[in-house]
Amino acid sequence: MEQIIFFIVASIAVASAVSFVFAKNPMYAILSLIVTMFSIAALYIILNAQFLGIVQIIVYAGAIMVLFLYILMMLNLSKEDESKKQNLMKFIGVFSAGLLLIGILGAYRGFTFQPVAVDVRADIGLTKNLGRLLFNEYVLPFELASILILAGIVSAVLIGKKDL
């Protein structure tokens, strides 16, 4: 039963990713990307990585995709803007995609498959274990990262503050 659910969710992820690539309307492309992100989060949860699944939903599907939608609505793209693209930019895009394809094929050519024995335990991806590890062994780096984030927030507020 778990494999059937996995394949259904994986096929939804692949279908929505293909829909994202071939969508003509940017709004439909962003919405299909949101479906892809939710599907990937479901795959993480099926694979017993609950923390990654929740982070995927909160960070990617929640925050970043909403930001993309907001920017897309602010830009108000239309078909008239599409015709203004120069042929040089299209050529550069095709050329860089070709270089990427050559790089991937070169990396794949040197790849040899060797099966690795994996220790499968049921409690690997649980948030309880991650929290125990973060707040016991790595509490100092965790707190230093939080102080760094707080300093960044205070700096952004001070830079953005208008002089009164």
DSSP string, 78-141: -HHHHTT--HHHHHHHHHHHHHHHHHHHHHHHT-----------TTSS-HHHHHHHHHHTSHHH
- Does residue 137 have a pLDDT over 60? yes
Q: Say what the pTM is.
A: 0.57
Confidence at residue 119, expressed as pLDDT on a 0 to 100 scale: 61
| Residues in contact with 35: Cβ distance below 8 Å, sequence separation at least 6, in sequence order | 12, 16, 19
> What pLDDT, in 10s, does the model give residues 36-83?
999 999 999 998 888 888 888 888 877 777 777 777 777 766 556 555
Least confident of 56-65, 81-90, 134-143, 153-162: 81-90
Inform me whether the pLDDT recorded for 1 exceeds 80.
yes
pLDDT band per the 50, 70, 90 thresholds, residue 9: very high
